[in-house]
């Protein structure tokens, strides 16, 4: 049976009420995990237009005290998001900032003590920067760990990091809230071919919660445990390079029933990318009130940019030009660290996956100087060109329909933003309903 509507609302709604002002009883909350400026622009535009809050999260690999693959520290990421929000006239109180998978993951090749020391410094930098929500994830094995980490070890490490966050945020009028959970999917999707994905068992969920409660109590962190608003659990959704496993409520029913025993908490669903809109709405209804999305948004951006590149090539006729895809291929081959372990097979298959995988490892490369220059040049070229509508129809049919109906501006950059917004639409309808205006 679906989870009752009142289950999992307490602490999440209290948090939103404190941050946003006034009473809040939202259906759910989209959690957008990205550091790409165009994706973030699409996100803040939609939040402003709909009058809703939005949770923008950075992962431990994207953003950390060393800069991560984006080159941004938590403070720099915060400033970028808030400056973009201000430029789009989005109220500061509508912007919630989160840190995702905060733990030893980037340093898991080190012994646990060294990896946890790095994780502690990272968590402190997130808390000091004023992030609202911290997902503490210590579920991964470090170099000197055994094959499996017991719940009590994971929970003790989580408490260690929460203690650091609490100290860093001491005196703040809005201390961070936390998300915990030992069963988390691989960040960015699975590298293996998926046929069926594990659904968290009720016993595992409740044991994990109890282990964390005890670990927090031993560390004198009862107040922090009272600010745990959600639990990460596997609802059975996942994607790999070429396949998507959609939500099946019948498989998740035992897990949903377990939430009845935790009435103040909600579930947080990871890897919801590429789920059909009706499945997103069902997840929220069933208690997965925080929906995380990331690769699907940069996937949509890549589709739009490659479509614009095809349009530019058609307009150029016989004039030689180096296409965006060739630039990205060169950038990725020269620096294979972000895709090589995930894209298996021979050279032809790896080349295909570099550009057209659901896992979208190409998102790690858009910040490179060569990629940025190529994208800026492409958008300038398309803006200067008189693009015939039939050509738009060929490569961007959804944009063509909006242009013909007068629903979209003619800027090619706006077309790319629209492609991202089309993905966001499903999350907003699932979390806020049709036409919800939640800000006073």
- Cα 154 from Cα 215, distance rounded (Å): 9
Distances (CA, A) of 223 to 89, 135, 217, 226: 35, 17, 9, 5
Q: What is the mean pLDDT of residues 169-174?
A: 91
Q: Where in the chain is the domain with CATH 3.20.20.70?
A: 10-297+423-432
Residues 6+ apart with CB under 8 A from 9: 25, 266, 289
Mean pLDDT value of segment 2-28? 70
Question: Quick one: pLDDT at residue 439?
Answer: 46
Lowest mean pLDDT: which of 119-133, 186-200, 392-406? 186-200
Q: Which residues contact 405 (CB under 8 A, 6 or more apart)?
A: none
> What is the pLDDT, as a whole number, of residue 191?
53
Task: Judge whether residue 282 has pLDDT over 50.
Answer: yes
* 192 confidence band (pLDDT: 50, 70, 90): low
Query: How many of the other CB atoms lie within 10 Å of CB of 305?
Result: 25
List C-alpha distances in Å: 66 to 74, 107, 142: 10, 12, 19
Question: In the CATH hierarchy, which top-level class contains the domain 298-420?
Answer: mainly alpha
Q: What is the pLDDT of residues 211-239, one digit of tens each?
A: 999 999 999 999 999 999 999 999 999 99
Q: What's the pLDDT band for 12 if we cut at 50, 70, 90?
A: confident
Listed in sequence order, the residues at least 6 apart from 369 whose beta carbon sits closer than 8 Å to its beta carbon are none
Task: Give the residue range(s) of CATH 1.10.400.20 domains in the chain.
Answer: 298-420
Residue 14, pLDDT score: 87
> Stretch 404-428: mean pLDDT, rounded?
95
DSSP state of 221: -
Hunting for tokens 């107040």 — which residue is that? 223
Task: Name 332's Cβ contacts closer than 8 Å, sequence gap at least 6.
Answer: 338, 339, 354, 361, 362, 365
Q: Decide if pLDDT at 412 tops 80.
A: yes
Q: Please tell me the least confidently modeled range out of 14-23, 158-167, 400-409.
A: 14-23
- Residue range 139-149, pLDDT digits in tens: 999 999 999 89
Q: Quick one: angle between helices 397-405 and 412-432, nearest 10? A: 90
Query: DSSP class of residue 63?
Result: B
Whole-angstrom distance, CA of residue 33 vs CA of residue 57: 5
What's the burial of 173, exposed, middle or buried (CB within 10 Å: 0-12/13-18/19+)?
Answer: exposed
CATH of domain 10-297+423-432: 3.20.20.70
Q: Is the dihedral of CA 236, 294, 143, 123 positive or negative?
A: negative
Question: Is the pLDDT confidence value at 306 over 90?
Answer: yes
Task: Please give the average per-residue pLDDT across 184-191, as a whole number.
Answer: 55
pTM: 0.93
Average pLDDT, the chain: 92
What is the distance between the alpha carbons of residues 249 and 244, in angstroms, rounded to a whole number? Answer: 16
* CB 265, CB 230: distance < 8 Å: yes
Alpha helices in 101-201 (DSSP H): 112-128, 151-168
Handedness of CA 247, 249, 250, 253 (dihedral sign): positive
pLDDT in tens, 38-65: 999 999 999 999 999 999 999 999 999 9
pLDDT at 440: 38
pLDDT digits (tens, 9 = 90+) for 350-374: 999 999 999 999 999 999 999 999 9
Rg (CA), the chain: 22
> What's the pLDDT score for residue 18?
82
Q: Does the pLDDT value for residue 189 go beyond 60?
A: no
Give the CA angle between residues 181, 297, 393 to the nearest 5°: 155
Round to whole Å and give the CA distance between 16 and 79.
21
- Percent over 90 (pLDDT), the chain: 84
Residue 187 above 60 pLDDT?
no
Helix (H, G, I), strand (E, B) or coil at 133: strand
Q: What is the pLDDT of residue 6?
A: 47
Strands 288-293 and 177-180: unpaired
| DSSP H helical ranges for 264-411 | 277-285, 295-316, 324-334, 347-356, 369-384, 389-395, 397-405
Helix, strand and coil content of the chain, in percent to the nearest 5, comes to 50, 10, 40
Mean pLDDT of 404-426: 95
């Amino acid at each position: 049976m679906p989870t009752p509507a009142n289950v999992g609302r307490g602490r999440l709604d209290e948090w939103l009420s404190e941050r946003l002002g006034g009473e809040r009883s939202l259906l759910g909350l989209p959690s957008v995990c990205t550091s790409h400026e165009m994706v973030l622009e699409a996100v803040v535009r939609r939040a402003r237009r709909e009058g809703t809050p939005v949770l923008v999260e950075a992962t431990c690999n994207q953003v950390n005290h060393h800069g991560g693959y984006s080159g941004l520290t938590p403070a720099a990421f915060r400033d970028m998001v808030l400056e973009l929000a201000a430029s789009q006239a989005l109220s500061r109180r509508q912007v919630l900032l989160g840190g995702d998978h905060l733990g030893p993951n980037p340093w898991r090749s080190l012994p646990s003590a060294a990896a946890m020391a790095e994780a502690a410094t990272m968590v402190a930098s997130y808390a000091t920067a004023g992030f609202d929500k911290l997902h503490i994830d210590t579920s991964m094995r470090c170099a000197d760990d055994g094959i499996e980490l017991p719940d009590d070890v994971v929970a003790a490490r989580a408490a260690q990091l929460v203690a650091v966050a609490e100290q860093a945020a001491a005196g703040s009028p809005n201390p961070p809230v936390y998300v915990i959970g030992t069963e988390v999917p691989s960040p960015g999707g699975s590298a293996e071919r998926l046929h069926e994905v594990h659904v968290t068992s009720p016993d595992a969920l409740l044991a994990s919660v109890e282990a964390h409660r005890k670990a927090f109590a031993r560390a004198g962190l009862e107040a922090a445990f009272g600010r745990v608003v959600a639990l990460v659990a596997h609802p059975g959704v996942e994607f790999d390079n070429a396949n998507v496993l959609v939500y099946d409520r019948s498989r998740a029913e035992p897990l949903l029933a377990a939430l009845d025993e935790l009435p103040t908490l909600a579930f947080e669903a990871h890897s919801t990318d590429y789920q059909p809109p009706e499945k997103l709405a069902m997840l929220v209804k069933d208690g997965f009130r925080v929906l995380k999305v990331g690769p699907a948004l940069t996937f949509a951006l890549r589709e739009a940019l490659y479509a614009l590149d095809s349009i530019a090539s058609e307009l150029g006729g016989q004039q030689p030009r180096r296409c965006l895809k060739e630039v990205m291929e060169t950038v990725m081959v020269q620096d294979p660290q972000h895709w090589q372990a995930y894209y298996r097979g021979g050279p032809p298959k790896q080349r295909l996956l570099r550009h057209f995988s659901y896992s979208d490892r190409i998102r790690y490369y858009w910040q490179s100087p060569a990629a940025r220059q190529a994208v800026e040049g492409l958008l300038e070229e398309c803006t200067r060109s008189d693009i015939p509508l039939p050509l738009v129809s060929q490569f961007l049919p959804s944009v063509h329909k909006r242009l013909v109906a007068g629903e979209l501006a003619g800027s090619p950059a706006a077309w790319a933003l629209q492609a991202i917004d089309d993905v966001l639409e499903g999350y907003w309808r699932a979390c806020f309903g049709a036409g919800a205006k939640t800000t006073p």
